[in-house]
Structure 1
Amino acid sequence: MKLKIKAGQNSAVLTADPTWKVRDLSSHLSGTLLDGQSITAYRYGFPSKSVAATSDISLQDAGIKANEQLVAETSSTGQSLANSTALNVASSITSTLSESRGPTSEDKITTANDKIANVYIENVGEYLILRNVPDDNSCLFNAILYALTGSFKWPELNLRHIVAETIQGNPATYDEVVLGRPIDKYCEWIEKSESWGGAIELGILSDFLGVRINCFDVELGSMMVFQNEKDVPAKFIVLVYSGIHYDCFVTNRQLTETKTNDKGNWTTHELEIVGSCDELVSLLQKRNYTTNTTTFRVRCLQCYEVLIGEMGASKHAESTGHYRFGEVN
């Protein structure tokens, strides 16, 4: 199977056997690709999963599929990302973007207000703006709600419950293999306000709401599309995933933080809007709008234990029932 390996600004296509161990990958990569750095982990999938570069698990058992893109985390990138520990990505974007005042013409980024990440879409006559979603463990659901309704809270539309009911009503589609746990356990888990949503939820909600969800992964620099392929929706929204948090894109004639007249869903100008989103995501990549979910450190706010990475936090939550985490500086 073909795999695309990305390391920093370099990339290569590798023909691999599904039975290879993950640790075998490094020996097949050229020194030019790695630029003298050693690989510590690989990130892949959506939302991103991570596996240690020294792991003895096979590629197929790790869930790495043909034509997958793997982002290699090297000893240097791992250290720089670990130092960021940016759990509250939504609030940190302001300071991150203001570090570079006045973009180059190559970026085409407007800085009439350098606190707002934006691109001006000439053909549409509006600004494309990154709207930060509250970091409350429901950012995926709130990003969808804001894009569709202009509000982060909509009591009449319980998205978590919609997901749970859809899964329960379609056990052949959403079985234990897909969910990673028994159906009843998954449904119980996703209805908790502390649980994070991902690709499963995006697919279900796209179908239920009749909207195409275009979602950018900043780390991978790629976009995933969630929609009903048999009944392609006319309406679309655009989300952005930083590695641990979801925000959304809107358009507005005014470049303002007040959110008045924000529009987060559209039926026209998809090519221009998505293209501008891609430009803005490229800027976010340059300005480290990502969180390394393998190495960031969090503290449990219930027992104060310090944990390493998303896996550490997930295991702690499963074993203790503690779901409230905070940033470790």
Structure 2
Amino acid sequence: MKLKIKAGQNSAVLTADPAWKVRDLSSHLSGTLLDGQSITAYRYGFPSKSVAATSDISLQDAGIKANEQLVAETSSSGQSLADSTALNVANSITSSLSKSRGPTSEDKITTANDKIANVYIENVGEYLILRNVPDDNSCLFNAILYALTGSFKWPELNLRHIVAETIQGNPATYDEVVLGRPIDKYCEWIEKSESWGGAIELGILSDFLGVRINCFDVELGSMMVFQNEKDVPAKFIVLVYSGIHYDCFVTNSQLTETKTNDKGNWTTHELEILGSCDELVSLLQKRNYTTNTTTFRVRCLQCYEVLIGEMGASKHAESTGHYRFGEVN
């Protein structure tokens, strides 16, 4: 099977055997791709999963499929990747501030006071804007709500309960293998306010709400589409995933932090809007919008213990029942 591996600015296509161990991948990558760096982990899938580069698990057992794109997390033998990223971010900010705030044909990506990530969509005559969703463990659900209703809270539309009811009503589709746990346990879990949603929830809600959900993974630079393939919806929304958090894209005729007149769902101009989303995702990549879920540090907001990575947070939650986390800067 063919795999695409990205390491920093470099990429390579590799023909791999599903029986290979994950640790075999690095030995088959060229020195040009690694560029003096050693691989510590691979990220893949959506939502992103991570596996250590030294793991003895097979590619097949890790869930790595043909034509998968993997992002190699690396450590440098020279200048640190953090320093390099910081330099790129600083250059990007300096460049944007030195240019006119109005859209030009040379540089459509702009910022207002360096706070509002946006792209001007010329054919639509509006700005595409990244709207931040509250970081309260319900960001996926709130991003969908805001895109559809313009509000982060809509009591009449309990999305968690909709997911649970759909799963309970379709046990053949959403069985224990798909859910990763017994159906009743999963439904009990997803209705808790501290539980994070993912691809299962996006698929269910897209079908229930009759809307196409286009979701960009910033680190992978790819887009996943969730929709009813038998009854393709006319309406669409666009979410953006950072590694641990979901935000949404909106359009507005005014470039402002005030959310008045935001529009987060559309039935026309999909190609133009998605093209501008792709441009804005590229900007977010340069600004280090993503979170490395293997090495980022989080603090438990219930006992204040500092934990390393998604795995550390998951183990802590399982052992203590604590589910409220905040990222440590």
Query: Is TM more than 0.5 here?
Result: yes
Cα drift, residue 101 of structure 1: 9.2
Query: Per the alignment, do residues 294 and 257 of structure 1 end up closer, same or farther by CA in structure 2, a change over 3 Å counting?
Result: same
State the distance in 2 between where 1:119 and 1:135 align. 24
Gaps of 5+ in 1: none
Cα drift, residue 112 of structure 1: 4.4
Query: Per the alignment, do residues 93 and 132 of structure 1 end up closer, same or farther by CA in structure 2, a change over 3 Å counting?
Result: farther
State the distance in 2 between where 1:207 and 1:294 align. 32
Query: Per the alignment, do residues 201 and 107 of structure 1 end up closer, same or farther by CA in structure 2, a change over 3 Å counting?
Result: farther
1:1-150 alignment, distance < 5 Å: 1-76=1-76, 107-150=107-150
- Is the 2:89–2:286 Cα contact (8 Å) retained in structure 1? no
Alignment RMSD, CA only?
A: 3.8
State the distance in 2 between where 1:195 and 1:95 align. 39
Cα drift, residue 264 of structure 1: 0.2
Cα drift, residue 189 of structure 1: 0.7
Cα drift, residue 83 of structure 1: 9.4
- Is the 1:86–1:92 Cα contact (8 Å) retained in structure 2? no
State the distance in 2 between where 1:91 and 1:102 align. 20
State the distance in 2 between where 1:99 and 1:297 align. 35
Cα drift, residue 126 of structure 1: 0.6
- Is the 2:213–2:236 Cα contact (8 Å) retained in structure 1? yes
Cα drift, residue 326 of structure 1: 2.1
Query: Per the alignment, do residues 34 and 90 of structure 1 end up closer, same or farther by CA in structure 2, a change over 3 Å counting?
Result: closer
- Is the 1:81–1:291 Cα contact (8 Å) retained in structure 2? no
State the distance in 1 between where 2:159 and 2:91 align. 24
Query: Per the alignment, do residues 95 and 162 of structure 1 end up closer, same or farther by CA in structure 2, a change over 3 Å counting?
Result: farther
Give SS of 2:224's match. Answer: strand
State the distance in 1 between where 2:233 and 2:289 align. 30
Give SS of 1:85's match. Answer: helix
CA displacement 1:138-169 (0-9 Å, x = unmatched): 00000000000000000000000011111111
State the distance in 2 between where 1:292 and 1:150 align. 30
Cα drift, residue 60 of structure 1: 0.8
CA displacement 1:89-114 (0-9 Å, x = unmatched): 99999999999999997552133443
Moved more, 232-241 or 163-172: 163-172
Is 1:301 matched up with 2:301?
yes
State the distance in 2 between where 1:161 and 1:90 align. 43
Aligned counterpart, 2:253: 253
Q: What TM-score, normalized to structure 1?
A: 0.92
Aligned sequence identity (%):
98
Cα drift, residue 76 of structure 1: 3.4
CA displacement 1:211-248 (0-9 Å, x = unmatched): 00000000000110000001000000000001111000
Cα drift, residue 175 of structure 1: 1.1
Give SS of 2:78's match. Answer: helix
Moved more, 307-316 or 271-280: 307-316
State the distance in 2 between where 1:30 and 1:215 align. 32
Q: Identify the structure with bigger relative contact order (alpha carbons < 8 Å, sequence gap 6+).
A: 1
CA displacement 1:291-312 (0-9 Å, x = unmatched): 1010011111222222111111
Aligned counterpart, 1:221: 221
Paired residues in the alignment total: 329
Cα drift, residue 319 of structure 1: 1.7
Q: What TM-score, normalized to structure 2?
A: 0.92
Query: Per the alignment, do residues 24 and 188 of structure 1 end up closer, same or farther by CA in structure 2, a change over 3 Å counting?
Result: same
Give SS of 1:25's match. Answer: helix
Cα drift, residue 207 of structure 1: 0.5
- Is the 2:126–2:254 Cα contact (8 Å) retained in structure 1? yes
Gaps of 5+ in 2: none
Cα drift, residue 87 of structure 1: 21
State the distance in 1 between where 2:142 and 2:182 align. 26
Moved more, 319-328 or 185-194: 319-328
Query: Per the alignment, do residues 87 and 320 of structure 1 end up closer, same or farther by CA in structure 2, a change over 3 Å counting?
Result: farther
